[in-house]
Structure 1
Amino acid sequence: MATARHRIVLFDLFGVIARHQRPGALEKMAARCHASPDAFTTAYWTHRPPYDAGLHAASVYWTAVLHALSRPADADTIEELRLTDIDSWSRVDDRMVTYVRNLRDRARVALLSNIPADHADAFLAAQPWLRDLDHVAFSGKIGAAKPGPAAFRHCVIALRAAPADFLFVDDREENVRAAQAVGMNGHLFIGQDDLAGVVDGWLPTDS
């Protein structure tokens, strides 16, 4: 019979363990570029996917954003925007961090996050407990991002498991559906208390 230690709870990062982007951050970066918040937000997200997936370096991403706003892409501006951006995604939910760390006593625990490589390095430096997880997959490091199936398959291979061994937890329905499409179990995160009940019911009782 399968034991709980054969099961893997695979967490999304932002919106689950970490907070979403700091309020006002996009407006702050827009002001630095002398651009309207709407124009900046459009450029910021339009050029984001290849940066998240590790296909573009930070300098390439920010050059594209600035050019889309008809602004010069000088090195100082790019670095200021890059650091402000990293800081805007740096907050964690301490209660969820505690839950995730304690869950390792009962199951294998891993992480799959859409995050650029330089953001990932900063996040690991600030949150060293992540290194204690059974696997950490950052899109900018593995070259694949959710909801693409390659991101989920990376975790299956890295953890030498079957898709059915996973419970994937994300706050975005499209990502949960993508995980289910490759054979994982999925849970749409709405809060820790709801999640705890789902995890308790999914993990088998060791005998």
Structure 2
Amino acid sequence: MKPRPDALVLDLDGVLRHFDPAVRAPLEAAASLDAGTILAVAFDHRVLNPVLVGKQSHEEWAGTIAEELTHQHQLDPDAARALVTEWMAYRGEIDPDVLRFVAEVRAAGVPVALATNATSRLDADLELLGVADAFDVVVNSSVVGAHKPSREFFAIVCDALRRSPAHCLFVDDDDRNVRGARAAGLSAYRWNGVADLPYLRAALGL
């Protein structure tokens, strides 16, 4: 039987930060692209993987997305670059309920790690969103050179928290990442929304 977790590991996008698709949809419509086209190009494994492990900067990734849009969707190169720049200008919104939960957990003496697959722009995003100091530990895949759901990534997170995997509770909205965390020995919970917060409080003994 596993011990009660005494450290929280939290995903960023889909848990703490959310992106409203309605903000970006008009940009694609204006370029005669189907809604979701840029996201599909940007998150294609071949395009995304290099930036997630630090082999590309955020700016280089943006350039690759623009090149793919030019080749795949016949956009003018300058227009594609401008479109990607404008698409990336929206940095999402923080869920206040989740942020309050993070503060509550830390106030109870339980350390919280933000563990995310992210680019070199993560620190700037956290500053912009006002959450740069909201965590005890931030593990960015592009800095450590490994990304979720690899065992290496989760080992780095646990080391940063100075906890064994069995003492860490991982929360993510991606089933693949949840399975990876469990395989690495962490307790893991698949996030469905703020209605899950009472369960997480109980799991941490709050």
Q: Common fold, TM-score beyond 0.5? A: yes
Q: Structure 1 stretches of 5 or more lacking a match?
A: none
Tell me whether 1:44 sits opposite 2:38 in the alignment.
no
State the aligned residue count.
197
Structure 1 residue 79 displacement after superposition: 6.3
Structure 1 residue 126 displacement after superposition: 2.0
SS in 1 for 2:15: coil
Structure 1 residues 67 and 185 mapped into 2: Cα distance closer, same or farther (>3 Å)? same
Name 2:116's counterpart in structure 1. Answer: 113
- CA–CA separation in structure 2 for the residues paired with 1:63 and 1:34: 20
Structure 1 residues 151 and 140 mapped into 2: Cα distance closer, same or farther (>3 Å)? same
Query: Deviations for 1:66-102, whole angstroms, at most 9, x for unmatched residues?
Result: 222334545x964662353241x42111111111111
- CA–CA separation in structure 1 for the residues paired with 2:83 and 2:133: 28
Equivalent residue in structure 2 for 1:191, among 185, 188, 193: 193
Tell me whether 1:61 sits opposite 2:64 in the alignment.
no
- CA–CA separation in structure 1 for the residues paired with 2:24 and 2:43: 11
- CA–CA separation in structure 1 for the residues paired with 2:107 and 2:41: 43
Structure 1 residue 174 displacement after superposition: 0.9
* Aligned 1:75-154 pairs, distance under 5 A: 78=81, 81-82=84-85, 84-87=87-90, 89-106=91-108, 107-118=110-121, 120-154=122-156
Query: Structure 2 counterpart of 1:104, which letter?
Result: R
Name 1:167's counterpart in structure 2. Answer: 169
RMSD between aligned residues: 2.8
Structure 1 residues 176 and 126 mapped into 2: Cα distance closer, same or farther (>3 Å)? same
Name 2:22's counterpart in structure 1. Answer: 24
| TM-score between both structures, scaled by the size of structure 2 | 0.80
- CA–CA separation in structure 2 for the residues paired with 1:53 and 1:82: 22
Structure 1 residues 81 and 39 mapped into 2: Cα distance closer, same or farther (>3 Å)? closer
Structure 1 residue 196 displacement after superposition: 2.5
SS in 2 for 1:65: helix
Structure 1 residue 117 displacement after superposition: 1.4
| TM-score between both structures, scaled by the size of structure 1 | 0.80
Structure 1 residues 52 and 25 mapped into 2: Cα distance closer, same or farther (>3 Å)? farther
